[in-house]
Structure 1
Amino acid sequence: MTGLPGTVAHRVTGRRVEVTEPLDLAGAGRDTAVAVHFLRECQSAGFEVSWRTDGTPYDIPTLRHLPPPAEHPEEPGELSDWRSGHTHGMLYHRRGPDFVTVLDRREPSTAARFTLDHPDLLAAFHTLLEPTPLDALTPTHREAADLLAVERLALVTDGWAVALPPRIRRWPVPCTAM
């Protein structure tokens, strides 16, 4: 048992996950939210992930903390830039009692640390750890989801939302090499 969501077809071999079908990161609502959730959980568990996409993800700067897609001939330059610029721990969250701290280093010049401690914001973040239709959120949680999206801590696309920062459970050894 890997603890990975069963929503994406994949094979696990040791610490490696191979996604068997292309993932849709083009902003297509539920499918994109599910794909982001799956990649986030793979990263959280410390898996090396091999996956591919049929097209260019619509928002690479927001998604660049996720494991990049496998190399593909004739791919757009943005995907190779994603691979070359990706490092472990670019965006992650840690949980405390009644708060979550998020470190965002996706853009080194604007690195930020957030503390989510307002009860409604924290509840919305916890809800969005699973792909969630916006219609299922209360108006207060919808407003919180919009705030998280503005800070690029949640992806909101075509009526669906999902939290972006993984909870890192495994760091590479040595972790100071990052």
Structure 2
Amino acid sequence: MNPLPAPPGRTAPALPTGQVHRIRGRLVTVDQPLRLGAGGRRAAAAVQFLRECQSHDLVVRWIPATDDPLFTGPAHEVSAIAGLLRHLPAPGPLPGEPPELAVWRDRHAYGQLHQRRGPDFVTVMDRREPSAAARFTIDDPDLLATFRTVQVPTAVAGLSALGREAVDLLAAERLAWVTGGWVVALPPRIRRWPVPCTDI
């Protein structure tokens, strides 16, 4: 009797380039501090990286730079950023960190904000604030095209007038983050299903 073939090895997911990191199993270790609060392209790229890690349900170890406004800024600004990004892997603890970062770690859960893609639409479920959970269907062609464009960090100035209007709508619903003239979509694409099917 011939032995059964070995199951295929699980390949590491393709993550965005630009963040120096190591992958071991499901653990991703980011080798340099991330500067989310500093804004601009680097912050948008860091959010894209964390979003894609969340999409693949990876455990991420990262810390903010100690001179980053996410670490040193006024409490209301830190709280606003942490609340917006709560669905993404939280930073590791650092001595003297603002309490809002500990709240981020405590309240983070896989699937709080996620998207599912259809042929001509995207459905988004937002449960970052349990008392204000919301479901969105993006099916307007211009809005959908912009949502697809900003899956990667995009300079707002490079968008058409319709694109900038769409970004304003997405940002108003907290589905995109505009920072320092750059925009990036926030909902990860769900690839694993501990998320209850009733949430989709």
TM-score, normalised to structure 1, is: 0.93
The code of the aligned residue for 2:83 comes to: P
Pairing partner for 1:110 from 132, 145, 149: 132
| Counterparts of 1:27 and 1:37, CA distance in 2 | 15
Q: Deviations over 1:66-119 (max 9, x none)?
A: 110012222111111110111111100000120000000000110000000000
One-letter identity of the residue aligned with 1:11? R
Taking the TM superposition and a 5 Å limit, the aligned residue runs for 1:144-155 are: 144-155=166-177
Counting only pairs closer than 5 Å after superposition, residues 10-25 of structure 1 correspond to structure 2 as: 10-25=21-36
- Asked whether the equivalents of residues 56 and 79 of structure 1 are also in contact (C-alpha less than 8 Å), the reply is no
Q: For residue 58 of structure 2, what is the aligned residue in structure 1?
A: 47
Q: SS of the residue aligned with 1:61?
A: helix
Bigger radius of gyration among the two: 2
Q: Report what 1:133 is aligned to.
A: 155
How far does residue 28 in structure 1 lie from its aligned partner after superposition? 1.5
The CA RMSD over aligned residues, in Å, is: 1.3
Aligned partners of 2:181, 2:159: CA distance in 1, in Å? 11
- State which drifts further: 37-46 or 21-30: 21-30
Q: TM-score, normalised by structure 2?
A: 0.83
Following TM superposition, by how much is the alpha carbon of 1:2 offset from its aligned partner in structure 2, in angstroms?
A: 2.6
Deviation of 1:170 (Å): 2.0
Q: Secondary structure at the match of 2:100?
A: helix
Q: How many residues align?
A: 174
Q: Which amino acid aligns with 1:25?
A: L
- 1:124 equivalent to 2:135? Answer no
Q: Which runs of 5+ in 2 are unaligned?
A: 1-11, 71-77
Say whether residues 1:30 and 2:41 are aligned partners.
Answer: yes
Aligned-partner Cα distance in 1 for 2:52–2:13: 10
Which stretch shows the higher mean deviation, 36-45 or 22-31? 22-31
Residue 137 of structure 2: SS of its match in structure 1?
strand
2:123 aligns to what SS in structure 1?
A: strand
Identity between Structure 1 and Structure 2 (%): 56
Per the alignment, residue 169 of structure 1 pairs with: 191
Confirm whether residue 159 of structure 1 aligns to residue 181 of structure 2. Answer: yes
CA distance in 1, matches of 2:39, 2:126: 25
